[in-house]
């Protein structure tokens, strides 16, 4: 523990640490009780576990910010617990409590990545100081003076999934370092959104964020687009052109679809990154540039290195830290949040009346779908359905139809009949401007029957009265 930390006033410690969640693990019930009282008094939310196994069971539901565990316990010991925790939540800090005889084991544990250890008996103040140090180091924004305290950096990323939360914690930690980041995830999982979030959480957030889609720029234009060119450098270069790398000076360069960059250009990019300067096409002098690089790919760059289409040296330069977004099918608890959010967005943008919500069955269908195109596919599906729906509630049949459109499957007969019936009802209500008596007469049904039909399809006659 550095000497300077000892000067922190306990009141300040409390302020910094309020609301943080601690998982306490010890097989001694007395110590568990005592510590838990002490931490609660210091404003923490505390969950206790009397064994390593029990702690692992509570991890995903309690989502602690910190774990304090005894080293020697029956069954799973503290170090084994730490190893399991680290596999799942590599940035979650763990503090170990140790008796005098096991200090060497505790020291060894810190070499393996345990944040710190405390030797029993310890005083409360000492414990609070170590906790403060761990939280400050692992979550830099808990410091009220930190520039990135504003949670706005992640405000556009909607999630309630624990793997995503862990990824965002890791993201926040690396954002303020200058390290290069490679985001390797499937299409439509939110790679660009995450790259923008890194930029917002970084100290460069007031400088430009410049995205470059390497797959969209023709090979022969890459050099002049990225490095710029001087007037007359080649036929058609009738004025000076600032390259995208120079435009990102002081800020962040986002190299999207980096796996598509031609091999020969990879060498030129590597040189720019190593030397920190670019030379525009036709220029004799290089220009110094200061950029932080985030790259993204949906392809496996390791495999590309094996087949010789991606340079290994560039890979190591770009991939100092790798962030991987889970596919949507692995975070199904996010689907309803995202679906409602995207529906509200369509409603805000649209001048016409757009459906207000999903029926419970429609939401079930969304939650069960495979989503190979991830969040981008979810957005497209919702936009398509919302615009085509003339009623306040989106039905399951509409969702299924939109999802089938993607896979080219045949509609089962019951769904086709239901869809026909619904369209028929909508048409007839439009014709009669929501006059149920008239509509029922045209359909040769009595009013009660007709109302039943409407409710089966979640249609409301009054919606058609405005037109
Ligand atoms: N967690 C999220 N919350 C809200 N919107 C999201 C989230 N993740 C992605 N999106 C939205 O989904 C769309 C796709 O995201 P983005 O473009 O970042 O993904 P990508 O992985 O770069 O996709 P592609 O492979 O198609 O380039 C964007 O409109 C983005 O705003
Ligand atoms: Mg993208």
Tell me the per-residue pLDDT of 90-108, one tens digit each, with 9 for 90 and over: 778 899 998 867 777 878 8
Question: Domain for residue 147, yes or no?
Answer: no
Q: Compare 314 and 352 and report the one with higher pLDDT.
A: 314
Domain count, the chain: 3
- If asked whether residues 402 and 273 sit together in one domain, one would say no
Is the per-residue pLDDT at 211 higher than 80?
A: yes
146-172 per-position pLDDT tens digit: 444 457 899 999 999 999 999 999 999
- If asked whether residues 157 and 127 sit together in one domain, one would say no
What CATH number does residue 448 fall under? 1.10.8.60
Residue 150 confidence (pLDDT): 55
Residue 15 confidence (pLDDT): 38
> Is residue 343 within 8 Å of 389, Cβ to Cβ?
no
Query: In sequence order, which residues have a C-beta less than 8 Å from that of residue 202 and are 6 or more positions away?
Result: 148, 175, 176, 252, 292
Question: Domain for residue 72, yes or no?
Answer: yes
Residue 175 confidence (pLDDT): 92
Q: Using the 3D structure, point to which of 323, 338, 366 is the last residue of a domain.
A: 323
Read off the pTM.
0.64
Is the per-residue pLDDT at 390 higher than 50?
A: yes
* Rounded average pLDDT over 302-331: 95
Question: For residue 4, what pLDDT band results from cuts at 50, 70 and 90?
Answer: very low
- If asked whether residues 182 and 305 sit together in one domain, one would say yes
Q: Compare 226 and 124 and report the one with higher pLDDT.
A: 226
Question: Domain for residue 372, yes or no?
Answer: yes
Is the per-residue pLDDT at 389 higher than 50?
A: yes
Which residue is listed with tokens 């690089």?
Answer: 293
Question: Domain for residue 410, yes or no?
Answer: yes
Question: For residue 212, what pLDDT band results from cuts at 50, 70 and 90?
Answer: very high
- If asked whether residues 301 and 412 sit together in one domain, one would say no
Q: Compare 361 and 110 and report the one with higher pLDDT.
A: 361
Q: Using the 3D structure, point to which of 275, 293, 323 is the last residue of a domain.
A: 323
What CATH number does residue 16 fall under? 3.40.50.2300
Question: Domain for residue 289, yes or no?
Answer: yes
Quote the CA–CA distance of 166 and 176 in Å, as a whole number: 17
Calculate ∠ Cα 261-262-265, nearest 5°.
90
> Which domain range does residue 65 map to?
3-138
Question: Domain for residue 206, yes or no?
Answer: yes
> 243 CB under 6 A from ligand 1?
no
Q: Using the 3D structure, point to which of 107, 138, 169 is the last residue of a domain.
A: 138
In this structure, the residue with its CA closest to atom 23 of ligand 1 is 188
- If asked whether residues 119 and 239 sit together in one domain, one would say no
Q: Secondary structure of the chain in the HEC alphabet?
A: CCHHHHHCCHHHHHHHHCCCEEEEECCCHHHHHHHHHHHHHCCCEEEEECCHHHHHHHHHHHCCCEEEEECCCCCCCHHHHHHHHHHHCCCCCEEEEECHHHHHHHHHHHHCCCCEEEECCCCHHHHHHHHHHHHHHHCHHHCCCCHHHCHHHHCCCCCCCHHHHHHHHHHHHHHCCCCCEEEECCCCCCHHHHHHHHHHHCCCCCCCEEEEECCCCCHHHHHHHHHEECCCCCCCCCCCEECHHHHCCCCEEEEECHHHCCHHHHHHHHHHHHHCEECCECCCCCEECCCEEEEEECCCHHHHHHCCCCCHHHHHHHCCEEECCCCHHHCHHHHHHHHHHHHHHHHHHCCCCCCCEECHHHHHHHHHCCCCCHHHHHHHHHHHHHHHCCCCEECHHHHHHHHHHHHCCCCCHHHHHHHHHHHHHHHHHHHCCCCHHHHHHHCCCCHHHHHHHHHHCCCCHHHHHCC
Query: Rounded mean pLDDT of the chain?
Result: 87
What CATH number does residue 192 fall under? 3.40.50.300
* Rounded average pLDDT over 414-435: 87
- If asked whether residues 95 and 160 sit together in one domain, one would say no
- If asked whether residues 11 and 64 sit together in one domain, one would say yes
Long-range contacts of 306-310 (CB under 8 A, 24+ apart): 308/263, 309/263, 310/259, 310/263, 310/266
The closest ligand to the CA of 342 turns out to be 1
- Point out the least confidently predicted range of 100-104, 187-191, 259-263: 100-104
Is the per-residue pLDDT at 269 higher than 80?
A: yes
- If asked whether residues 383 and 307 sit together in one domain, one would say no
In this structure, the residue with its CA closest to atom 25 of ligand 1 is 187
Ligand 1 atom at minimum distance from 375 CA = 12
> 337 CB under 6 A from ligand 1?
no
Ligand 1 atom at minimum distance from 193 CA = 18
- If asked whether residues 305 and 333 sit together in one domain, one would say no
Q: Compare 378 and 390 and report the one with higher pLDDT.
A: 378
Q: Compare 233 and 467 and report the one with higher pLDDT.
A: 233
Is the per-residue pLDDT at 3 higher than 90?
A: no
Is the per-residue pLDDT at 297 higher than 70?
A: yes
Mutation pick for ligand 1 pocket among 184, 192, 294 (CB with most ligand atoms within 8 Å) = 192
Question: Domain for residue 146, yes or no?
Answer: no
* Rounded average pLDDT over 239-262: 95
Checking DSSP bridges between strand 45-49 and strand 21-25, what pairing results, if any?
parallel
- If asked whether residues 120 and 209 sit together in one domain, one would say no
> 374 CB under 6 A from ligand 1?
no
Per-residue tokens: 113: 């990545």
- If asked whether residues 242 and 266 sit together in one domain, one would say yes
Question: For residue 349, what pLDDT band results from cuts at 50, 70 and 90?
Answer: confident
Is the per-residue pLDDT at 142 higher than 90?
A: no
* Rounded average pLDDT over 386-401: 85
State percent of the chain over pLDDT 90. Answer: 56
- If asked whether residues 159 and 293 sit together in one domain, one would say yes
* Rounded average pLDDT over 247-275: 95
Question: Domain for residue 144, yes or no?
Answer: no
* Rounded average pLDDT over 257-285: 94
């Amino acid at each position: 523990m550095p000497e300077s930390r000892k000067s922190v006033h306990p009141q300040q410690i409390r302020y910094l640490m309020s609301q943080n969640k601690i998982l306490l693990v010890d097989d001694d019930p007395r110590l568990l009780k005592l510590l838990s009282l002490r931490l609660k008094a210091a404003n923490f939310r505390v969950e206790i576990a009397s064994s390593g196994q029990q702690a692992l069971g509570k991890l995903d539901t309690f989502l602690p910010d910190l774990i304090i565990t005894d080293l020697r316990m029956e069954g799973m010991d503290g170090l084994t617990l730490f190893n399991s925790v680290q596999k799942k939540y590599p940035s979650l800090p763990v503090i170990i409590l140790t008796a005098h005889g096991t200090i060497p084991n505790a020291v060894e544990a810190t070499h393996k990545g345990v944040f710190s250890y405390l030797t029993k008996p310890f005083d409360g103040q000492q414990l609070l100081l170590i906790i403060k140090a761990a939280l400050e180091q692992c979550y830099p924004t808990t410091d009220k003076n930190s520039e990135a305290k504003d949670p706005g950096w992640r405000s556009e990323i909607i999630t309630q999934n624990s793997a995503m939360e862990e990824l965002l914690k890791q993201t926040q930690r690396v954002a303020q370092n200058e390290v290069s980041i490679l985001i390797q995830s499937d299409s439509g999982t939110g790679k660009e959104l995450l790259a923008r979030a890194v930029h917002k959480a970084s100290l460069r957030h007031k400088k430009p964020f410049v995205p470059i889609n390497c797959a969209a720029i023709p090979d022969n234009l890459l050099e002049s687009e990225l490095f710029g060119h001087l007037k007359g450098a080649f036929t058609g270069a009738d004025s000076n052109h600032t390259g995208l790398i120079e435009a990102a000076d002081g800020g962040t360069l986002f190299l999207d679809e980096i796996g598509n960059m031609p091999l020969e250009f990879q060498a030129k990019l590597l040189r720019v990154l190593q030397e920190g300067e670019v030379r525009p096409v036709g220029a004799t002098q290089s220009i110094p540039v200061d950029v932080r690089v985030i790259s993204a790919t949906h392809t496996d760059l390791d495999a590309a290195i094996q087949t010789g289409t991606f340079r290994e040296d560039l890979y190591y330069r770009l991939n100092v830290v790798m962030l991987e977004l889970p596919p949507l099918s692995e975070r199904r608890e996010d689907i309803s949040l995202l679906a409602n959010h995207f529906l509200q967005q369509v409603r805000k943008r649209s001048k016409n009346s757009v459906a207000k919500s999903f029926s419970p069955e429609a939401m079930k269908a969304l939650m069960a779908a495979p989503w190979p195109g991830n969040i981008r596919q979810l957005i497209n599906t919702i936009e398509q359905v919302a615009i085509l729906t003339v009623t306040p509630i989106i039905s399951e049949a509409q969702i299924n139809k939109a999802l089938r459109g993607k896979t080219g499957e045949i509609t089962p007969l019951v769904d086709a009949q239901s869809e026909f019936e619904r369209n028929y009802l909508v048409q007839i209500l439009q014709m009669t401007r929501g006059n149920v008596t008239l509509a029922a007469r045209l359909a040769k049904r009595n009013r009660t029957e007709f109302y039943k039909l409407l409710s089966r399809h979640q249609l409301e006659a009054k919606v058609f009265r405005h037109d």
